[in-house]
Amino acid sequence: MLYILPGMGTNNAMYEGPWRELSGVVYLNWPKLEKEISINEIAQRIIEENSIESSDWVGGSSLGGMVSLEISKILGNPQVILLGSAMHINEITPLLMKLAKFTHLTPVGFLQMISGSAPMRVSQVFANSDPDLIRKAGHALRKWEGGESTQAKILRIHGSRDLIIPCPKEAHIIHGGGHIIAMTHAEECVSIVKSAMEGGATTGSGTSP
């Protein structure tokens, strides 16, 4: 089974269309955070609420990918799929690290800040964003030790025009894609994920037009 988390401030509605054609995938939502104050504690909560096992694959977009790395460190999962996400806070631009200061923005305003546009379907995904989660997650990210210590294989899928987490070299690069490639370039992302699931655990590299 592959468990995929959404990005910060979004829900699993960001994985629509081609994503729903994949079999063996569970699209998660963020839990209502209580006392969790670290990425590790958020990961523990998600593991418990969704009964994720060590044999499962995990992944996610942006913050979701970072939490999935933490899940893999806890459980020893074989594969992590990062969709416009980071291995360490050093890969993140200062803008994202300061998101806690922008919780007063409307979902559309937040979306415009990270993507430069607000198409209707994308705006709807942000409609129920939780300012408390954004604040707590932003604080937790500042203390995150990173995911380099995971023993999992890493598949990175990244947009070439991502202004929040600049495109790493060791990734499947989707040219023209921004930070929310799971939505804007769903077909390309799904094709790469499907190939990985059919071929077994892999480390990602390559380009997509």
* Model pLDDT, residue 180: 87
Residue 32 sits in a domain whose CATH number is 3.40.50.1820
Residues 3 and 59 sit within 8 Å (Cβ to Cβ): yes
Residues contacting residue 133 through CB under 8 Å, at least 6 positions apart = 8, 9, 30, 32, 33
* Total tally of structural domains belonging to the chain: 1
Rounded CA Rg of the chain: 15
Q: Taking the model in full, what pTM does it have?
A: 0.84
* Model pLDDT, residue 116: 44
Q: How many CA atoms lie within 13 A of 133 on its CB side?
A: 18
pLDDT in tens, 145-193: 999 999 999 999 999 999 888 999 889 999 999 888 999 899 999 999 9
pLDDT in tens, 111-155: 545 554 445 455 555 555 566 666 777 778 888 899 999 999 999
Q: 74 by DSSP, 3-state: which?
A: helix
Round the average pLDDT of the chain to a whole number and report it: 83
Range of the domain at 118: 2-208
State how far the Cα of 76 lies from the Cα of 22, in Å rounded to an integer. 24
State how far the Cα of 79 lies from the Cα of 72, in Å rounded to an integer. 8
Residues contacting residue 69 through CB under 8 Å, at least 6 positions apart = 80, 82, 85, 87, 146, 147, 150, 152
* Model pLDDT, residue 169: 87
Taking residues 22-47, report their average pLDDT.
Answer: 90
